[in-house]
Amino acid sequence: MEAVIERLKEHLNHSIVGQASLIDDLLVALIAKGHVLLEGPPGIAKTTAAKVLANAIHASFQRIQFTPDLLPGDVTGSDIYQQHTGQFQFTPGPIMHDIVLADEINRAPAKVQSALLEAMGERQITVGNATYPLSELFFVIATQNPIEQEGTYPLPEAQLDRFLMKIQVDYPDLETELQVLHLIREQDKHGKGTASAPAISLEDIAVLQNAALGIYMADAVEQYMVHLVMATRHPNKYFEDDGNMASMIEYGVSPRATLALDRCSRAHAVIAGRDYVTPDDVRAVVHNVFRHRIVPSFQAIAQNLSNDQLINMILAKVPVL
């Protein structure tokens, strides 16, 4: 398994500069069999990361640009009347691929978002009276731009909960920006060339996913995860000496967060080359798992506290048993 992961990382790092944490997070979600929401400004390799990942594992890839005039059938496919046969025939939509990039998901209206989220949850689509299964791999990478919100349809908390992780991607630092500049300059000068051969197969991904399910997790680590979840729902029990913190969270994370934290912690341990989960694995993924599931109170918003800061406070307060 370690050789497979190393080949995959090497392939990704060759084409994606300065986004090591993004690569690791995408691999965690892929091994944990979940979907991710990427939030960040434009031009920071979100689309490139999805394309390179699909190429690295010999998977089919499709990008869907979400716009306000998009219809559900534009995503799922639809029944098209065939004049020569006098019957309707299903024409698959772009969602019928292994890896799907839902670009700027918050620009599409609610019906389109619901069609995508239903496919994510059920791993199948229904068109007319027929149901069509999606790929066994089926991995959605959705993006949204936090800068420009005019004319958008923000995902409500209940729909955000369908995403296994929410990953925040920021601008690169100075050194990385120079590396990107040099890489693109060389590509423009010599051409991008032919795509490199896939590093691993779909069967390799299935092996990694099964390995994550069977990895050992001690009772103390399970208890630690559940206490982190409970601290978001009942902060007054964990912050008895800080009444101010107890009123910072309006709604805690859902049971989906517990399951997501378990799966992501296991996947993180697999990527680290271990056959057991540690509290450090839990802490490494908890921000991505909780970030979009915590609903801060008005008091927290007034004090300009981000969800990540609230999670940091919880991590500082909840001990490892």
Report how far residue 74's alpha carbon sits from residue 95's, in angstroms, rounded to the nearest whole number.
9
| pLDDT tens digits for range 154-198 | 888 878 899 999 999 888 888 888 888 887 788 788 766 545 677
31 plus 93 within the same structural domain: yes
32 plus 135 within the same structural domain: yes
Report pLDDT for 63: 92
Say which range, 217-226, 277-286, 312-321, has the weakest mean pLDDT: 312-321
| CB distance 301 to 201 below 8 Å | no
141 plus 235 within the same structural domain: no
Half-sphere exposure of 35 (CA within 13 A, CB side): 25
Residue 197 lies in a domain: no
Ramachandran area for residue 273 (φ above 0: left; ψ -120 to 50: alpha; else beta):
left
- Summarize the confidence of residues 313-317 as an average pLDDT: 93
CA-wise closest residue to 222 among 167, 267, 271, 278: 278
- Summarize the confidence of residues 115-140 as an average pLDDT: 89
Residue 5 lies in a domain: yes
186 plus 296 within the same structural domain: no
Residue 219 lies in a domain: yes
Reduced DSSP (H G I as helix, E B as strand, rest coil) percent helix, strand, coil of the chain, to 5:
50, 15, 35
16 plus 51 within the same structural domain: yes
Report pLDDT for 128: 81
220 plus 179 within the same structural domain: no
More confident residue, 180 or 318: 318
Residue 210 lies in a domain: no
| CB distance 283 to 268 below 8 Å | no
Q: Has residue 254 got a pLDDT over 80?
A: yes
- Which residue do the tokens 């991505």 mark? 288
75 plus 132 within the same structural domain: yes
The CATH number of whichever domain residue 37 belongs to comes to: 3.40.50.300
179 plus 242 within the same structural domain: no
Handedness of CA 107, 110, 115, 120 (dihedral sign): positive
162 plus 279 within the same structural domain: no
Residue 80 lies in a domain: yes
In the three-class reduction of DSSP (H, G, I as helix; E, B as strand; rest coil), residue 145 is classed as coil
Residue 199 lies in a domain: no
124 plus 238 within the same structural domain: no
Report pLDDT for 229: 96
Report pLDDT for 197: 73
Residue 198 lies in a domain: no
264 plus 184 within the same structural domain: no
Report pLDDT for 298: 93
More confident residue, 285 or 49: 285
| pLDDT tens digits for range 228-237 | 999 999 988 8
Q: How many domains does the chain have?
A: 2
119 plus 259 within the same structural domain: no
Report pLDDT for 82: 87
**Residue 132 CB burial class (10 angstroms; 0-12, 13-18, ≥19):** middle
Q: Domain ends where: 190, 205, 228?
A: 190
Domain that holds residue 169: 1-190
Report pLDDT for 32: 95
- pLDDT, the chain, mean: 88
The CATH number of whichever domain residue 312 belongs to comes to: 1.10.8.80
